[in-house]
């Protein structure tokens, strides 16, 4: 009997022992896996300060929107670079000029492309005609001021300094001479790309774009040479927010070109000096975003935030032909301050992806008895019979309700977005065409006063008398031809 009891106790002890071993192993395995997962989130960083170089090479620097060829599989090398600082008056907008301080004669400055492990010997030259000393701070450089102290150079002099690129990524460079904000605000910034070993994956097209905010004594669009306004810069109230140094750098004849089906990579930087950029391409989605120009990749992004002094690499495939619109989605900057560009994509339509408009109908939310647009208390409805002066008075009130946001109270429009109505040859040449635009809308490219515009104006839900009034006001304002548009003329065009 005692023997049987001992045997039973021994078997129970063994069961508990094996259960303990099993649970201990399970917990230990779980902890090990957890530690392994956590360790997997910590990226191993190779020490590229010890990477050997093989041979010498003169680096190719390019002006925006172009970039040098990819580095590919080449080994780390000794690179020789030269960059000239030039203070030069150039166009900011149509009829508006500005004295830019530049790296390489452009805003942004020349694009620099290298690979991790490269040793760089950098010569910076300050043109003798310049008025001020300058330097360069490259965010890709590990060392005092990113090279700013070693590169400080007076007009008519040159400096050579050297550094090793030990971190891959896309980085901003800029002038860091006091007052630093003023030098950056005058256009002294650019991008340096440090590719990883083996380089970036190949794409069909690569473009270089940088945003910057500018502060002028004159308001947006005021013609002539505009000096820098330090007080506006302090207050962060830019008159211009532009891509690649001007309102027209990436539009019209300067629009970027691509074909449907091509893969596109944008190297996008934000020189600032003050504003962050909510960068978006209207009509596309970024397949990949290298966040802040580093190793982390985000997928399927519509709008990405890029801080002043920051950068990002953006990749997408242009699936269908269209005009893709580059904007800062802080949207008044795009349509009112110039942060707007175009990638013109040509090629065959793909209706499986985008079929365009397939039907237009009448929306009658309360049934077929609703036959006209509702009118609120603010609508100005002129009487059917009016004198010309009465038409002008009523038309001004309608214009200030429906038209001034795009075409401005003075009829000057918005540069590169909405055409002017003041002294507008397109308007004065054909009264019937002007009536048709209000009745039916307008899309596609038009030329007004020798400049091309490509935007959309929707049809206006106005009565014949209202169309007649607002057009009579426009024709008798801002140097136009003084025509009178009658309700009868509008009625004929509507029919």
407 assigned to a ligand binding site: no
List the CATH number of the domain containing 311: 2.60.40.420
Largest CA distance in the chain: 126
Amino acid 333: pLDDT: 94
Amino acid 15: pLDDT: 64
Given a contact cutoff of 8 angstroms between Cβ atoms, the answer to whether 265 and 203 are in contact is yes
Same domain, 333 and 247: yes
Cα gap 43→222, rounded to integer Å: 52
Within 13 Å of residue 340, how many CA atoms lie on the same side as its CB? 23
Say what angle helices 464-475 and 487-494 make with each other, to 10 degrees. 120
Rounded mean pLDDT of 185-193? 98
Same domain, 173 and 227: no
Per-residue pLDDT for 35 more than 60?
no
- Give tens-digit pLDDT for 191-206: 999 999 999 999 999 9
Given a contact cutoff of 8 angstroms between Cβ atoms, the answer to whether 453 and 445 are in contact is yes
Rounded mean pLDDT of 32-51? 61
Most confident range, picked from 37-41, 409-413, 420-424: 420-424
Amino acid 19: pLDDT: 57
Per-position DSSP letters for 178-244, written without gaps between them: SSHHHHHHTT-EEEEEEEPTT-SPP-SEEEEEEEEEE-BSSPTT--EE--B-HHHHHHT--SEEEET
Same domain, 163 and 215: no
Same domain, 222 and 317: yes
139 assigned to a ligand binding site: yes
Per-residue pLDDT for 221 more than 60?
yes
174 assigned to a ligand binding site: yes
Amino acid 326: pLDDT: 96
The residue ranking higher by pLDDT, 289 or 220, is 289
Per-residue pLDDT for 370 more than 50?
no
Per-residue pLDDT for 143 more than 60?
yes
Same domain, 215 and 190: no
Same domain, 184 and 211: no
Single pTM value for the model = 0.72
183 assigned to a ligand binding site: yes
Instruction: Tell whether 143 is covered by a domain.
Output: yes
The residue ranking higher by pLDDT, 366 or 397, is 397
Amino acid 475: pLDDT: 95
Percentage of the chain surpassing pLDDT 70? 85
- Give tens-digit pLDDT for 81-92: 999 999 999 999
Number of domains in the chain: 3
Nearest by Cα to 104 from 208, 212, 187: 187
Amino acid 414: pLDDT: 74
- Which residues neighbour 210 within 8 Å (Cβ) at sequence distance 6 or greater? 64, 107, 108, 189, 190, 191, 243, 244, 268, 269, 270, 271
Q: Which residue has the tokens 């390489």?
A: 104
Domain-terminating residue out of 197, 225, 252 = 197
Instruction: Tell whether 83 is covered by a domain.
Output: yes
Given a contact cutoff of 8 angstroms between Cβ atoms, the answer to whether 338 and 241 are in contact is yes
Instruction: Tell whether 105 is covered by a domain.
Output: yes
175 assigned to a ligand binding site: yes
- Give tens-digit pLDDT for 415-443: 667 899 999 999 999 999 999 998 888 87
Most confident range, picked from 6-10, 91-95, 241-245: 241-245
Given a contact cutoff of 8 angstroms between Cβ atoms, the answer to whether 250 and 342 are in contact is yes
Confidence of residue 39 (pLDDT cuts 50, 70, 90): very low
Whole-number average pLDDT of the chain? 88
Same domain, 425 and 488: yes
Amino acid 22: pLDDT: 56
Per-residue pLDDT for 380 more than 60?
no
Rounded mean pLDDT of 54-76? 97
Out of 22-31, 244-253, 404-413, least confident range: 22-31
Given a contact cutoff of 8 angstroms between Cβ atoms, the answer to whether 148 and 139 are in contact is no
Instruction: Tell whether 40 is covered by a domain.
Output: no
List the CATH number of the domain containing 412: 1.10.760.10
Amino acid 272: pLDDT: 97
Instruction: Tell whether 5 is covered by a domain.
Output: no
Amino acid 30: pLDDT: 47
Same domain, 63 and 192: yes
Cα gap 59→115, rounded to integer Å: 11
Instruction: Tell whether 378 is covered by a domain.
Output: no
Strand, helix or coil for residue 311: strand
Domain-terminating residue out of 138, 169, 197 = 197
Instruction: Tell whether 332 is covered by a domain.
Output: yes
Q: How many CB atoms lie within 10 A of CB 413?
A: 22
Per-residue pLDDT for 213 more than 90?
yes
Confidence of residue 209 (pLDDT cuts 50, 70, 90): very high
Amino acid 444: pLDDT: 77
Out of 14-18, 53-57, 66-70, least confident range: 14-18
Rounded mean pLDDT of 310-337? 95
Same domain, 155 and 214: no
Same domain, 115 and 210: no
| Residues written for the chain | 495
Compute the chain's Rg from CA coordinates.
31
Confidence of residue 407 (pLDDT cuts 50, 70, 90): confident
Instruction: Tell whether 42 is covered by a domain.
Output: no
134 assigned to a ligand binding site: yes
Domain-terminating residue out of 346, 379, 414 = 346
Amino acid 36: pLDDT: 39
Query: Structural domain of residue 230, as residue ranges?
Result: 206-346
Same domain, 83 and 147: yes
Same domain, 102 and 241: no
83 assigned to a ligand binding site: no
Amino acid 16: pLDDT: 58
């Amino acid at each position: 009997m005692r023997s049987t009891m001992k045997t039973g106790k021994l078997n129970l002890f063994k069961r508990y022992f094996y259960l303990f071993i099993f649970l201990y192993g399970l917990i230990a395995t779980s902890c090990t896996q957890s530690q392994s997962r956590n360790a997997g989130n910590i990226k191993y960083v190779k020490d590229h300060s010890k990477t050997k170089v093989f041979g010498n090479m003169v680096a190719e620097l390019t002006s925006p929107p172009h970039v040098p060829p990819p580095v590919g599989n080449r080994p780390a090398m000794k690179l020789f670079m030269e960059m000239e600082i030039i203070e030069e008056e150039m166009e900011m907008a149509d009829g508006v000029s500005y004295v830019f301080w530049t790296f390489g004669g452009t805003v942004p400055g020349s694009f620099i492309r290298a690979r991790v492990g490269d040793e760089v010997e950098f010569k910076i030259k300050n043109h003798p005609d310049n008025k001020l000393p300058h330097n360069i701070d490259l965010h890709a450089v590990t060392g005092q001021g990113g090279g700013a102290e070693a590169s400080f150079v007076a007009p008519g002099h040159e400096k050579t300094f050297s550094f090793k690129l030990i971190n891959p990524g896309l980085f901003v460079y800029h002038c860091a001479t006091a007052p630093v904000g003023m030098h950056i605000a005058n256009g002294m910034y650019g991008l340096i790309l440090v590719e990883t070993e083996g380089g970036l994956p190949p794409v069909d097209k690569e473009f270089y774009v940088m945003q910057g905010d500018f502060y002028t004594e004159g308001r947006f669009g005021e013609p002539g040479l505009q000096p820098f306004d330090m007080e506006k810069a302090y207050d962060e109230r830019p008159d211009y927010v532009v891509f690649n140094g001007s309102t027209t750098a990436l539009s019209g004849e300067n629009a970027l070109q691509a074909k449907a089906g091509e893969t596109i990579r944008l190297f996008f930087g934000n020189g600032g000096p003050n504003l962050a950029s909510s960068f978006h391409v209207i009509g596309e989605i970024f397949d990949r975003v290298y966040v802040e120009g580093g190793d982390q990749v985000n997928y399927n992004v519509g709008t990405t935030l890029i801080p002043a002094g920051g950068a990002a690499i953006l990749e997408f495939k242009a699936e269908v032909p269209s005009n893709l619109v580059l904007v800062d989605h802080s949207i008044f900057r795009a349509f009112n301050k110039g942060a707007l560009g175009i990638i013109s994509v040509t090629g065959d339509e793909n209706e499986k992806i985008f079929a365009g408009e397939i039907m237009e109908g009448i929306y009658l939310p309360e049934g077929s008895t609703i036959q006209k647009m509702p009118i609120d208390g603010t609508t100005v409805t002129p009487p059917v019979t009016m004198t010309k002066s009465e038409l002008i008075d009523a038309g001004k009130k309608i214009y200030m309700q429906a038209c001034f946001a795009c075409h401005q109270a003075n009829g000057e429009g918005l540069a590169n977005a909405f055409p002017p109505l003041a002294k507008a040859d397109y308007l004065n040449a054909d009264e019937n065409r002007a009536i048709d635009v209000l009745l039916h809308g307008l899309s596609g490219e038009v030329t007004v006063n020798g400049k091309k515009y490509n935007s959309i104006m929707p049809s206006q839900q106005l009565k014949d008398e209202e169309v007649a009034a607002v057009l009579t006001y426009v024709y008798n304002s801002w140097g136009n031809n003084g025509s009178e548009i009658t309700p009868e003329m509008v009625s004929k065009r509507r029919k």
